[in-house]
Amino acid sequence: KRSSALKEFNKIFVRDAPTKRILEKYNIFTELSADPTIIMKDHRIFKCKSFPKKFIGIQINNELFNFLSSEIDDEIIDINGNNDKAINKFSSNFSIEEYLLNLSKIKILITNRFHRILLTLIVNNCTSPIIAYEDSNKWKNKNSKLRDLYDSLGLNDFLVSNYQDIL
């Protein structure tokens, strides 16, 4: 029913190759386009001031956060803001501007979130390394948006599926 409804459109744009491949299985042909996050990069909310205090931002599950925080000797911030063992957390009360401002302070980001990567690239002008964690149990066929993004940017060395490879 959904695929027949999609076929009624004259043109459909998708933001990643995995989605494009899924739709092609149903004979729905699409065009790739930039994620809206990238299109907005010139918007005033992305014009963050640079702050000297840098930190390692981690946005992954609590088990992985706890492992990395015990292994890394640097200031670590829990970007999810929900880990009880994390000393420093992002606040859910941040305005959009405050949130982006804090992302601009990241020295290294470790995440499994597609949009967190895009936002951090934008506010840091691509100057902070971003390690993408792709859970091998979830993405057994290696068909994730993170993999597609890192393939297209030539950053495959920064995509890991074993969290011990982060160290």
Identity (one letter) of the amino acid at 62? N
| Nearest-angstrom CA–CA distance, 11 and 24 | 13
Separation CA 59–CA 7 (nearest Å): 37
3-state secondary structure of 18: helix
| 79-121 residue pLDDT tens | 777 666 666 667 667 777 878 888 888 888 888 888 888 888 8
Q: What are 38-68's pLDDT values in tens digits?
A: 766 666 656 655 444 567 777 777 777 778 8
Mean pLDDT for the chain? 79
How confident is the model at residue 30, as a pLDDT?
A: 92
**pLDDT for residue 78 is more than 60:** yes
77 or 115, which is more confident: 115
Contact 12, 24 (CB under 8 A): no
Least confident of 5-9, 41-45, 107-111, 137-141: 41-45
Express as a percent the part of the chain with pLDDT over 90: 5
Q: Give the model's pLDDT for residue 48.
A: 53
Q: Can you give the pLDDT at residue 51?
A: 44
Q: Are 128 and 77 within 8 A, CB to CB?
A: no
Q: Where are the alpha helices (DSSP H) in 25-134?
A: 36-39, 62-71, 96-103, 114-123
| C-alpha distances in Å from residue 96, one per residue of 44, 45, 68, 102 | 11, 8, 27, 10
3-state class of 145 per DSSP?
Answer: helix
Cα–Cα dist 28/22, whole Å = 9
Compute the half-sphere exposure of residue 62: CA atoms within 13 Å on the CB side of its CA: 6
Lowest mean pLDDT among 63-67, 75-79, 137-141: 137-141
